[in-house]
Structures are given as C-alpha cells and as structure tokens.
Amino acid sequence: MAKLNQIIAVEKGVKSKSFQELTTAHHGLQKPALLAGISRTYQPKDEEGEQLPPESTRVQVRAEDILRDTAASLTRLFDVTATKDHANCAARADVVVDGRPLLTDVPVTYLLFLEKQLTDLYTFVRKLPVLDASESWTPDASTDAWKTEPVRTIRTKKVPRNHVKAEATEKHPAQVEVYYEDIAVGYWTTVKFSGALPARRVNELVQRVEKLQQAVQFAREEANAAEVVDKRVGDAVFGYLFGQ
C-alpha cells in the first residue's frame, strides 16, 4: 500500500505527462487533413480509353481513438489526485514541542498552512526592535516602557568678555579684543525611554518560532507517511463523458 508522501511525489509527474498528452491530442484533432481519407477508382468509357490507377488516402487520426487515449491518460491523473485529496482529509498528526503536544490531531493541509505562516512570523520576529546595548535599561511601570537612569548635564551660555590688549594712550585708543566664555547657567536631567525589546527577549522569540517550525515540519512528515487507499474515479468519469 502506498503512502501519502509517495502519491504527492508522483502527482506532479503524472499531471505534467497528462497535460502534454492532452495538448498533443488537441492539436492532432485541429488538423482536418489527418482526419480525412478517400478512395476512388477510374473506369474509361470504352475499352480503348486510358486506364488510370486507383487513388486512396487513409485516415491517419480517428477521433474515437483520441478520446480513448485521452481518457486513459487523464484517468491516471484523476485517480492519483483523488487518492491524494482523500488521504489529505484523513492524514493527521500532533505538533509536539519539548515532548508535549501543542496541537493535536492536526490535518496535513493545516500543517502546510502553519508552515507558511511560521515562515512569515520568523521574518517578523527577527526584525523586532532591540534596546540600545550601550544604555542600561529598566522597566518603567508608569509608561509601560523601558527607561534609563537619569543623566545630569550642564547647560552653558556664552557670555562676551573684553580682553584689553593695549591700554589707551593720548594718541591711540585702547585695543580691546572681545571673546566669549562658557558660563554654567543650569542643568539638564535626561531620562531616555524606549518601546523596543531586550535582545534576550527577541532571541527567545526567535528560538520559539524555530522550534515550532521544526515541530510542524516533523508533524507534516508524519502525517504524509500515512498509508493511502487507492481511489478509482477516472473510469467512472470518462465512462460517462466519452462513453457510447
């Protein structure tokens, strides 16, 4: 008895072969010359007349033969697909994480859905914002975010000062140079806030997604290893469609 994963493996080849054969049959039926035949003989009016050989062309393509061959080709495809789809309805497995079932009796079609979603979630989780490692962060209950310790910095202001380079004389005014001096005028106290996540939290989430991905893949393989019952539907379908 075949297994579901074996049926899945051959389905693609059967589908491709059936499509090619159906295409060939379709094209063959579109050539009227291949469907036509003729037979004719010549008889002169009298015994002295010219004798001509008979002419004939055989029918090269018979539509009924094409129908029969097409039915035979597609019957295999219909049977394989029916076998797979019926088996998919019955193929189930548990998703087990850390030795405990997270999901039980999951259909293989839903396991395929989970695989796709987890691939997208993996990309999402890997790109979560991470707290700046150069800062020291602590949870802040009032904002439900993370914050740093207060940092105090001086606020300065430039104040102009005069520097007398040369005193005034009777003939020349004083030479004065203006420069600016930074004078402390106050203090800033800064606390940074962030809604990002600690790197450890992001790494934990990534590991969980990876672990669940592996569990779902294992469950799918287990479900696909289920034995299948061959379905024979093609004969009934094409017996009705192309039957006399």
Q: Residue 178: is its pLDDT beyond 90?
A: no
pLDDT number for residue 1 = 62
Mean pLDDT of the chain: 89
Lowest mean pLDDT of 28-32, 83-87, 101-105, 155-159, name the range: 28-32
Label residue 187 by pLDDT band (50, 70, 90): very high
Eight-state DSSP code of residue 45: S
Label residue 104 by pLDDT band (50, 70, 90): very high
**Rounded mean pLDDT, 104-126:** 94
Domain presence at residue 141: no
What gap in Å lies between CA 15 and CA 8, rounded to an integer? 11
Distances (CA, A) of 2 to 22, 49, 84, 112: 27, 73, 11, 21
Structural domain for 177, as ranges: 150-190
Pair 170, 232 in one domain: no
**Rounded mean pLDDT, 226-230:** 85
Quick one: which of 113, 63, 71, 102 has its CA closest to 220? Answer: 113
Q: Is the CB of residue 94 less than 8 Å from the CB of residue 101? A: yes
Domain presence at residue 97: no
Q: Is the CB of residue 105 less than 8 Å from the CB of residue 61? A: no
Domain presence at residue 160: yes
Domain presence at residue 77: yes
Burial of 80 (0-12, 13-18, 19+ CB in 10 A): buried
Note the pTM of the prediction, 2 decimals: 0.67
Q: Is the CB of residue 205 less than 8 Å from the CB of residue 125? A: yes
Domain presence at residue 222: no
**Rounded mean pLDDT, 7-15:** 86
Q: HSE-up of 214 (CA within 13 Å, CB side)?
A: 8
Q: How many domains does the chain have?
A: 2
Q: Residue 168: is its pLDDT beyond 80?
A: no
What gap in Å lies between CA 177 and CA 175, rounded to an integer? 7
Pair 80, 6 in one domain: yes
Label residue 205 by pLDDT band (50, 70, 90): very high
Tokens for 158, please give them. Answer: 């430039």
**Rounded mean pLDDT, 46-74:** 85
